[in-house]
Structures are given as structure tokens and as C-alpha cells.
Amino acid sequence: MQNLPEVQLAVTALKQKLSEAGRTGRAAKPRVGMVLGTGLSGLTAAMRDAVRVPYTELPGFPLSTVDSHSGAFVLGDVAGIPVLAQQGRCHLYEGYSPAQVCMGVRVMAGLGIGTLVVTNAAGALNPQFDAGSLMLMTDQINFTGTTPLAGPNVEQWGPRFPDMSCIFDPELRALALESAAMLGIRLERGVYIGVHGPQMESPAETRMYRQWGADAVGMSTVLEVLAARHLGLRVLGVSCLSNKNLPDCMAPVPLEEIIAVAGRAGRQLERLLLDMVTKF
Ligand code: HPA
């Protein structure tokens, strides 16, 4: 079910906190929002005049129960442009509903963002992709079994049957490839499949996802992207490939390794996004 009143309350509370911390007028109106996944929270360190509002200060905002995610909105300037980051997210596998998983994106839209950057850690299904690389999301498969758009449609968010023929903005994708080439960062292109989790994939599942056309698999992002497209936001998605996920040579992947490798890829992604922000 939809949670418009909760989202509106959280928007009001976030605006209030930002203004109490001195971000008012233009400085309180982000054009760009970012969802920072595992290993990516460092990006906020590059923001100037940043204000951090922990999720605990926003009524009804879901808190991540996963240690690798810190939970706060951070509004700050990158190259003079106000950027709002969602540092840490909650997941379906934690027991949250699709509406809760997408609350951050809807709150950021309530603050006025027009562009959303989503990031995540993912396992590489394409055997040509290396762990530690970045992947530009060209499309997605929602295999979570659910959607944030079920229930009565909230007309002020978007249409009943939103189009998904071109989910990730072609101009932003071209910009990302251009920036990556200029910075000497390897940026693969591929399809992300979002699964419910929390269990990792069996070899049979991994083989099936690859046969379906997916290049990377993860447990987040797809629902937030659906909510963002419903809201009419321009979306850019980048995965940090934290491990190889190949059916014929599968081995357990400890969470510590996923976090460490995603963190290394994340530093490249930070360079990429800092370069791109002024061109959004
Ligand atoms: N599978 C699912 N989710 C993930 C993986 C994976 O291999 N790596 C990082 N998140």
C-alpha cells in the first residue's frame, strides 16, 4: 500500500532540519539526489557545507538493520551544486515493504530533485566482468516479486501505468561513459537483476539469471528505480561489482569481502560522480 502521508511528514521534517542547520533558499533545493549503497558512503566527504540529518530524526523513516549501511540524508554542495545523498538504504530482505524501501526516493523528490543517481554493490554474472569494476546499468529486471506501485495509484507521484521502455536516461549514460573515458575508469555496461534476498544465489539461479540476459545481480535498487521513473525523475544507475557470481565456480562470498571490494570500486565511482555532477 502507498504511504503518501508518511512521505509528506518526512519531507516536512527534513526541510525543517535543513533550515535549522542553515541551509535555506537555493541551498535547500537539491537538483540531484543520490542513493549511496554498500561501500559508497565516502562520497559525502567531498561535499561542502554539508548538513547531515539521521533517519532517526525523521518520523516514520525506515532504519537499515544492516551494519554496512549508515543511515542519514546529507545535503551539501558539489562544485557549487546542491546534492542530496541518501546514505544507507533499507531492503526487502530486512522485512521492509516496497513503500518503505522507496520512501527515501519519494522524500528526495519531495525536496525537488529532478535527477536520481542509484548505486549498489552487485555480483557479476557476465564472465567478462571483473570484481572491483563498475557497471553502468543499461536496463533492469525486477525479480523481487513485488513493486512499489501496487495499490491505489498516487496521482501526484505519477501515472497508473508508467512507461519503462527506457528506464535509464540515455543522456546521463552517455555522460557517464564520457567521464569514465576521460578519467581512465573502466565502466562496463549491462543489465542488473534485482532479487529479494537475503540468501545468495544457488548455481542454478545464477545460470538462469545469466540466461535471462542479466549481467549483474543484487538485492536492492530495482524498486527505487521504479518509484523514481513513476515520479518522472531522470535516472542513472551504477553497480560496484564486488564479486564474480558464476555458476560453474561458485564459492561462499563473505560479507566482509563484498564490502571491501565494493568500497574499492566505490572510490572510482566517487571520482566519476564528482566529475559528472556539474554536467547533470
Ligand atoms: N548476489 C546478490 N547480491 C549481491 C551479490 C551477489 O553475488 N554481490 C553483492 N550483492
Please write the tens of the pLDDT for every residue from 187-213: 999 999 999 999 999 999 999 999 999
Question: How confident is the model at residue 68, as a pLDDT?
Answer: 55
Q: What type of residue is 209?
A: Y
How far is ligand 1, taken at its centre, from the CA of residue 205, in Å?
Answer: 12
**pLDDT digits 0-9 by tens, 206-229:** 999 999 999 999 999 999 999 999
Pocket around ligand 1 at a 6 A CB cut-off = 121-123, 200-201, 217-219, 242-243, 245, 258
Is there a domain that residue 155 lies in?
Answer: no
CATH of the domain at 72: 3.40.50.1580
Is there a domain that residue 250 lies in?
Answer: yes
Is there a domain that residue 124 lies in?
Answer: yes
Q: Is 108 helix (H, G, I), strand (E, B) or coil?
A: helix
* Global confidence as pTM: 0.96
What angle in degrees, to the nearest 10, is found between the helix axes of 103-110 and 222-230? Answer: 30
Beta carbons of 3 and 99 less than 8 angstroms apart: yes
Q: Is the pLDDT of residue 121 over 80?
A: yes
Is there a domain that residue 108 lies in?
Answer: yes
Beta carbons of 237 and 136 less than 8 angstroms apart: yes
Which of the pair, 127 or 70, is modelled with greater confidence? Answer: 127
Is there a domain that residue 157 lies in?
Answer: no
Beta carbons of 38 and 262 less than 8 angstroms apart: yes
Pocket test of ligand 1: the residue of 135, 193, 201, 207 to mutate, having most ligand atoms within 8 Å of its CB, is: 201
Is there a domain that residue 201 lies in?
Answer: yes
Domain containing residue 202: 4-149+163-277
Three-state secondary structure of 208-253: HHHHCCCCEEECCCHHHHHHHHHCCCEEEEEEEEEEECCHHHCCCC
Q: Is the pLDDT of residue 69 over 70?
A: no
Is there a domain that residue 158 lies in?
Answer: no
Express as a percent the part of the chain with pLDDT over 90.
Answer: 82
Beta carbons of 53 and 46 less than 8 angstroms apart: no
How many domains, the chain?
A: 1
| 135: Cβ contacts below 8 Å, ≥ 6 apart | 122, 124, 129, 187, 188, 189, 190, 192, 215, 216, 238, 239, 241
How far is ligand 1, taken at its centre, from the CA of residue 262, in Å?
Answer: 10
